[in-house]
């Protein structure tokens, strides 16, 4: 089906949720219009503040997100929620589940909820997420909350790009802190002990406190540790205040500007890689000499390393790269 891109973008600019959802799908699927869409929307980005919330499956991320969103809405801020679902291969299924858990905010026109399935994301999940963040930003949302499970490398990469990272843990799992990979603990700007109605919350807070003390980050922001009960909403206001305090801190210290230029730099490098990767696929597609070479490599008549150097030699020569 032919898409009326001009109309779609116009509807998007007018604030149509339907157009927003359609545009996200286009970009997620790397449709041929994706590049044009991103190009058009880019000048409208840069306003939203991105908050990542991560923790083990079932730690209460969605429940807490909803409560934080309600607090943000009280302050008149509009919100986009991106739930990265690691288990469901069906985005739609994931979306239904998250909508159920976020019922109270899902009918609020100031809140946009979208789930993304991790499996099968074309061009990689972090690429897709970065694009979706930009689209929701261009749509005009003030705060974008990304919910990810803090286990897979992909999820960690995604949450790292957030301006503020909230790390959720829960008492009663034994070695809670150890369960999360060391690399994950280091990226937390705010630590939350959720399910504080359960036994062991205070001890977990103490353990986290010790960990933060030991990690001697040397930065000007000392990660606070908060207790919450997401089901009742207890502690959600304090958490929201801390998020906004961290935002203020990053803005005043100039760190936000630095972080963002670093992120843009990494993204541009990513985009160049993606572009070049695309050319390579074009070049090898339907290329009989390439197929021949593969056959020889399979038959052990040739090794792949010299072949790769050979086939990329014109590129290296063009860019005057010595090797
Ligand atoms: N007792 C108690 N239960 C909670 C609390 N917060 C969340 N829960 C419950 O924990 C379960 C999981 O909550 P979710 O919000 O779906 O957790 P999640 O981290 O989003 O889960 P996934 O997205 O599946 O990784 C639900 O049954 C919640 O009702 C809390 O503070 N105390
Ligand atoms: Mg969830």
The answer to whether 18 touches 11, Cβ cutoff 8 Å, is: yes
Q: Do 109 and 129 belong to one domain?
A: yes
Distance CA 237, CA 235 (A): 6
pLDDT in tens, 64-103: 999 999 999 999 999 999 998 765 444 444 455 566 667 7
Contact 63 CB / ligand 1 (< 6 Å):
yes
Looking at the structure, do residues 38 and 52 belong to the same domain, yes or no?
no
Query: Residues 28, 49: one domain?
Result: no
Mean pLDDT of 168-182: 70
Residue 286 lies in a domain: yes
| CA distance linking residue 245 with residue 124, whole number of Å | 32
Q: Is 97 in the pocket of ligand 1 (CB under 6 A)?
A: no
How many angstroms separate the CA atoms of 89 and 87, rounded?
Answer: 6
Structure tokens at 284: 């090898």
Of the residues 52, 53, 55, 60, which should be mutated to test ligand 1's pocket, given the most ligand atoms within 8 Å of the CB?
Answer: 60
Tell whether 240 is covered by a domain. yes
Say if CB 108 and CB 73 are below 8 A apart: yes
HEC secondary structure over the chain: CCCCHHHHHHHHHCCCHHHHHHHHHHHHCCCCCHHHHHHHHHHHCCCCEEEEEEECCCCCHHHHHHHHHHHHHHCCCCEEEEEEECCCCCHHHHHHHHHHHCHHHHCCCCEEEEEEECCCCCCCHHHHHHHHHHHHHHHCCCEEEEEEECCCHHHHHHHHCCCEEEEEECCCCCCHHHHCCHHHHCCCCEEEECCCCCCCHHHHHHHHHHHHHHCCCCCCCCCCEEECECCCCECHHHHHHHHHHHHHHHHHHCHHHHHHHHHHHHHHHHHHHHHHHHHHHHHHCCCHHHHHHHHHHHCCCCCHHHHHHHHCHHHHHHCCCCC
Question: What CA dihedral angle connects 208, 209, 210 and 214, to 10 degrees?
Answer: 100
Residues 6+ apart with CB under 8 A from 117: 85, 88, 89, 90, 91, 94
Interval between CA 64 and ligand 2 midpoint (Å): 9
- Ligand 1 test: best mutation among 53, 62, 63, 102, most atoms within 8 Å of CB? 63
Q: What is the pLDDT of residues 128-145, one digit of tens each?
A: 889 999 999 999 999 999
Residues 81 and 1 in one domain: no
The confidence score (pLDDT) of residue 156 equals: 75
Report if residue 259 sits inside a domain.
no
Of all protein residues, whose CA lies closest to atom 30 belonging to ligand 1?
A: 195
Task: Assess if residue 212 is contained within a domain.
Answer: yes
Q: In ligand 1, which atom is closest to the CA atom of 57?
A: 25
The bound ligand whose nearest atom lies closest to the alpha carbon of 231 is 1
58 within a domain of the structure (yes/no): yes
For the CA of 81, the nearest ligand: 2
Task: Tell me the ligand closest to 230's alpha carbon.
Answer: 1
Same domain, 4 and 58: no
Same domain, 203 and 79: yes
Does residue 323 form part of some domain? no
Whether 101 and 246 map to the same domain: the answer is: yes
CA–CA separation, 167 and 277 (whole Å) = 34
* Number of structural domains found in the chain: 3
* pTM (2 d.p.): 0.88
- Say if residue 230 is in the same domain as residue 280: no
Same domain, yes or no: 16 and 49: no
Q: Determine, yes or no, domain membership for 204.
A: yes
Q: Is residue 261 part of a domain?
A: no
Residue nearest to atom 2 of ligand 1 (CA): 195
Q: Domain holding 191: CATH number? A: 3.40.50.300
Say if residue 194 is in the same domain as residue 289: no
239 and 274 assigned to the same domain: no
What spacing in Å lies between the alpha carbon of 43 and ligand 2's midpoint?
A: 32
Ligand 1 contacts CB of residue 94 (under 6 A)? no
* Distance in angstroms (rounded) separating the CA atoms of residues 28 and 48: 20
Last-in-domain residue among 202, 219, 253:
253
The reply to whether 221 and 106 lie within a common domain is yes
Question: Average of pLDDT values for 169-195?
Answer: 77
End-to-end CA distance of the chain: 47
End residue of a domain, out of 201, 225, 253: 253
Q: Which of 56, 58, 170 to mutate to test the pocket of ligand 1 (most atoms within 8 A of CB)?
A: 58
**Is the CB–ligand 1 distance for residue 57 below 6 Å?**
yes
Question: What are the tokens at 167?
Answer: 């790390």
Q: Whose CA is nearest to atom 25 of ligand 1?
A: 57
Confidence of residue 199 (pLDDT cuts 50, 70, 90): very high
What separation in Å is there between the alpha carbon of 83 and the centre of ligand 2?
7
Q: What is the pLDDT of residue 270?
A: 87
Please tell me the residue having the least CA distance from ligand 1 atom 28.
60
Q: 66: domain range?
A: 45-253
Of 263 and 90, the one with more pLDDT? 263
Residue 44 — pLDDT band, cuts 50, 70, 90? very high
Q: What is the pLDDT of residue 89?
A: 45
């Amino acid at each position: 089906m032919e898409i009326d891109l001009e109309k779609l973008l116009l509807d998007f600019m007018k604030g149509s949720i339907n157009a927003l959802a359609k545009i996200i799908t286009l970009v997620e699927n790397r449709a041929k219009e994706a590049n044009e869409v991103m190009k058009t929307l880019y000048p409208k980005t840069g306003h939203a503040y991105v908050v990542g919330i991560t923790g083990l499956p079932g730690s209460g991320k969605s429940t807490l997100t909803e409560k934080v969103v309600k607090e943000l809405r009280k302050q008149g801020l509009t919100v986009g929620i991106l739930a990265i679902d690691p288990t469901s291969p069906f985005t739609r299924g994931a979306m239904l589940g998250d909508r159920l858990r976020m019922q109270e905010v899902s009918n609020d026109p100031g809140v946009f909820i979208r789930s993304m399935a991790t499996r099968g994301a074309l061009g990689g999940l972090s690429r897709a997420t970065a694009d979706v963040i930009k689209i929701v930003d261009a749509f005009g949302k003030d705060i974008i909350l990304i919910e990810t499970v803090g286990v897979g490398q992909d999820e960690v990469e995604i949450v790292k790009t957030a301006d503020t990272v909230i790390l959720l843990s829960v008492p009663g799992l034994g070695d809670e802190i150890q369960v999360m990979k060391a690399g994950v603990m280091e990226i937390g700007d705010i630590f939350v002990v959720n399910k504080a109605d359960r036994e062991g919350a205070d001890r977990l807070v103490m353990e986290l406190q010790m960990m933060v003390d030991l990690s001697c980050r040397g930065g000007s922001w000392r990660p606070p540790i908060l207790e919450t009960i997401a089901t009742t909403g207890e502690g959600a206001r304090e958490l929201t205040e801390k998020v906004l305090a961290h935002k203020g801190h990053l803005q005043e210290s100039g760190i936000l500007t630095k972080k963002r230029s670093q992120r843009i730099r990494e993204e541009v490098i990513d985009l160049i890689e993606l572009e070049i990767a695309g050319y390579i696929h074009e070049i090898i597609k339907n290329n009989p000499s390439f197929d021949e070479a593969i056959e020889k490599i399979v038959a052990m008549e040739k090794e792949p390393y010299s072949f790769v150097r050979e086939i990329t030699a014109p590129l290296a020569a063009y860019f005057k790269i010595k090797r």
